[in-house]
Structure 1
Amino acid sequence: MLTVYRGTIVHTKSFNEFESLKQGFVAVENGKIIGVGDDYEDWLSTTKIDRTTLSEVLLTEFQFLSPGFCDGHIHAPQYAQIGLGLSVPLLDWLNKYTFPTEAKYVDQEFALGIYKSVVEATLRCGTTLASYFATNNLESTLILAREAARQGQRALIGKVCSNCNSPDFYVETTDESVKGTQSFVKAIRELNNPLVLPTITPRFALSCSKELLRELGNIAKSNDVHVQSHISENLQEIKVVKDIFKTSYAGAYDEAGLLTKKTVMAHGVHLEDDEIALLRERGTSIIHCPASNTNLNSGLCDVQRLINAGISVGLGTDVSGGNSVSILHALNRALDVSKHLDFFNKQDIFGTGPAKTPNRDYQQLSYKQAFYLATLGGAKALSLDHITGNFAVGKEFDALLVDVSILEKPHRTLTVDELVEKFIFTGDDRNITAVFVAGKCVKGSKWETN
């Protein structure tokens, strides 16, 4: 069945290109977009499609259709501890809260319960594409992959690798990590589900030996798969990495062959200029995690600096360093960070000195640019923008039906920009009344299509 959604349509074409169609349409067949625009009658005439053979869905004046959200960095097992331990720095938080929690996932029944909940929660909040860290445990990581497939979420899944600088109760040998990763890639591919892909996942350089990083780089290259990890999140962490690897944080990954066009690195708060140049050369992307960077006292990431340097950037919740699974929440926190950086640059908060020279030309992120980071920007960062991220013809229909009148009906008719702005600044998961992945409705059965 061919289904056409008619009403307000919004999406982005690039960081600075936001497209809105007040009386638009998106035509979907077999899960893929076959038409989009603002002249439905002309499209019908041109394509010679018989109107009686299709289904039309008419949006109300307070609804709009948006691309699905992309969470480029989320730790699925940490959903069990969300909201806890956010008053301590990163390395202390890992040792006191995170490692003990993740070690519990040897219990597959426990793992199934948490992973079922985190996929449900992220879908409810509009995340149609997620890049998940799991744990060191192979069997429970496969449970996460199967759960994402069962619920119909598009996902990159990573079995975490760490063979050093970790607690005795939560560490692997190099051989265990390598063989477990190889088995994991094979098992994910045997699921034969196009929505779920494997991603090589060294926890971070600090928890992996040089040998393990090289082996993981070889696996990524030989299998042509994605890579995810952390970079330059915390100043203490950066110092320890430099002491061990005798190079920059980015250099440690690059020497292992882990910086590729399919690599995403979370955070990038304190990247040096030469590191940014290296990431750009390799085609590696950054996932901005504003909530976590604030909660764990890591710092303020200057997204504009990265984008101006040619780095692809997406958004991540970084649960449970982040305290919400909602990318809409992350979008708002990204705007907050950008405003704070603007204050620092234009109100002399930096003080004096060559290392703290204000940037009078700094530009805040607009809500439309942040919307890009949450949708197409994330898909591009994850090297999946040929499949999802906006409503370009040929892409799969990953979408949200948003209704800004759910919580409180506006007192007047809103423009398209006002609909989007109101959702961004006052909305939550309750405003997302339907979620589609590859044309299938995974939330809001009333709106099911092919």
Structure 2
Amino acid sequence: MVTLYKGNFIDTPTSDKFRVRENGVAIVEDGKFLSLETKVPARFSSLPVKDLGGAMVIPSFIDLHVHAPQYLQMGAGLDLGLLDWLAHHTFPGESRFADEDYARKIYPLFAAELLRQGSLRSVVYGTVHLASTLILAQALEKAGLFAFVGKVNMDRNAPDDLKETTKDSFKGSDVFCRRLAGLDRVRPIVTPRFAPSCSQKLMEDLGVLSKRLNLPVQSHLSETLSEAQWVAELFPKSRSYTHFYNDCGLLGPDSLMAHAIYLSDEEIGLIVEREATLVHCPSANVNLSSGIMPLGRYLDRGVKLGLGSDVGAGHTLAMYRAVVQTVQVSKLLRILQPQENHRAVSLSEAFYLATMGNGSFFTRQGWGACGAFEPGMSFDALYIDMGLPEAAEISALTQLERFLYAGDDRHIKARILAGREL
């Protein structure tokens, strides 16, 4: 099936600049972008054209790090630091998902909000509860979204009602990963919450599970200095926090490590060597006073990077907000530490991370290329209309900048995933 779309197409196939193609006609066949033409090709002249007028068409957003059970927690307790916030807000909230009826009420709201904000692909944390995390996967599938979902693992340093035995935690993840085989759009991801909440035995077993089932991994890394020191005390035989994940077989090309603010040069080198992806979560890091990832430095070192909302430490699921926050915190870091020669990240670099960069993770997992309007890529798109009069004479790129900084979900008029309008 071929569909034609006419509009102003903006994307970032490379991070150095926005590519703007105005008044283009996109040829989409069986959910894939074929080409962008200046006019309707003769062979398609009999087909209707969906004319989007002077509005913008951009790749849909991808969220590479988000906690579904914390959806109702957005904004709560953000005067606290990470560990206190977990103890007083996050863990009590996650405990409620032992109730499957509660999960059935909350998770469809989370999926609907992802859709509303234009995040049509995501990598999602559930809780330790097998049944409720399966309900989460089903809610995302029903919403028509693409996602990786992980059942969280914790066998120590957690509240009693969330702490599993090592055997049960591993078995639950094994069962969860196999149960998701029947879904079309949602796949499993191995999910140790973070090193302090897992024994070395559990971490090593999860590393084996990831390799045996050929599954990706997600976790947290060096979000705060106190957390990194705690890991050093818990696992003194490993050379660093990053080395501990590597020692357990959990660090590689299919690994997503969120935050990663406090890494030594040796750890950065190991990340590059293992081709793991670090996921920047600017909103969460500022809200919990964790710090600021030296994103520009990592980019210049050749680290693979992604971007996440990290709801609920992040206070919004809108990835266009994360794009702007990425630019803003990089400027703050340059101001606050001028002696370190940090560089500010450009808007195009941040937008690239939220689309093409994050999309590369899905591409590596065999879901086809996505994240830009390139031949053969999945046609994942948002139709953005800022409602400005023609007399304003504002360029398409300036309108996009305005949307990223001052727009909201009301300006997203259509959401298209793999050629299908949701």
Give aligned pairs, total.
418
**Does the 8 Å contact 2:297/2:343 carry over to 1?**
no
Asked whether 1:142 is paired with 2:134, we answer yes
In structure 2, what residue type is equivalent to 1:392? E
Change (3 A) 1:105 1:318: same
Counterpart in 2 of 1:371?
Answer: 351
Task: Determine the C-alpha separation between the residues in 2 that align with 1:232 and 1:14.
Answer: 28
Per-residue deviation at 1:17? 4.4
Unaligned 5+ runs, structure 2:
none
Note the alpha carbon deviations across 1:293-325, whole angstroms, 9 max, x for none: 011110011111111111121111101001111
Secondary structure at the counterpart of residue 14 of structure 1: coil
**Does the 8 Å contact 2:219/2:257 carry over to 1?**
yes
Counterpart in 2 of 1:106?
Answer: 98
Per-residue deviation at 1:416? 2.6
Per-residue deviation at 1:345? 4.0
Task: Determine the C-alpha separation between the residues in 2 that align with 1:284 and 1:378.
Answer: 13
Counterpart in 2 of 1:31?
Answer: 31
Change (3 A) 1:409 1:239: farther
Asked whether 1:342 is paired with 2:347, we answer no
Secondary structure at the counterpart of residue 313 of structure 1: strand
Secondary structure at the counterpart of residue 261 of structure 2: coil
Task: Determine the C-alpha separation between the residues in 2 that align with 1:418 and 1:136.
Answer: 44
TM-score by length of 1: 0.90
- Identity over aligned residues, as a percent? 37
Give matches, 1:351-370, under 5 Å: 357-359=339-341, 362-370=342-350
Task: Determine the C-alpha separation between the residues in 2 that align with 1:140 and 1:358.
Answer: 45
Task: Determine the C-alpha separation between the residues in 1 that align with 2:81 and 2:343.
Answer: 29
Give matches, 1:34-73, under 5 Å: 34-36=34-36, 38-41=37-40, 44-45=41-42, 49-52=43-46, 54-61=47-54, 63-73=55-65
Change (3 A) 1:236 1:410: farther
**Does the 8 Å contact 1:389/1:398 carry over to 2?**
yes
Counterpart in 2 of 1:320?
Answer: 312
Per-residue deviation at 1:57? 1.1
**Does the 8 Å contact 1:379/1:389 carry over to 2?**
yes
Counterpart in 2 of 1:448?
Answer: none
Note the alpha carbon deviations across 1:351-384, whole angstroms, 9 max, x for none: xxxxxx331xx43111111111111111124535
**Does the 8 Å contact 1:312/1:380 carry over to 2?**
no
**Does the 8 Å contact 2:6/2:53 carry over to 1?**
no
Task: Determine the C-alpha separation between the residues in 2 that align with 1:311 and 1:64.
Answer: 31
In structure 1, what residue type is equivalent to 2:249? G
Note the alpha carbon deviations across 1:169-202, whole angstroms, 9 max, x for none: 11111111111111111111122x0x21110000
In structure 2, what residue type is equivalent to 1:389? G
Task: Determine the C-alpha separation between the residues in 1 that align with 2:287 and 2:131.
Answer: 31
Secondary structure at the counterpart of residue 383 of structure 2: strand
Change (3 A) 1:410 1:425: farther
**Does the 8 Å contact 1:312/1:381 carry over to 2?**
no
Change (3 A) 1:79 1:410: farther
Per-residue deviation at 1:411? 5.0
Secondary structure at the counterpart of residue 35 of structure 1: strand
Counterpart in 2 of 1:427?
Answer: 407
Per-residue deviation at 1:386? 4.0
TM-score by length of 2: 0.96
**Does the 8 Å contact 1:8/1:24 carry over to 2?**
yes
In structure 2, what residue type is equivalent to 1:397? F
Taking only aligned residues, the RMSD between alpha carbons, in angstroms, comes to 1.5
Per-residue deviation at 1:157? 0.3
Task: Determine the C-alpha separation between the residues in 1 that align with 2:139 and 2:288.
Answer: 29
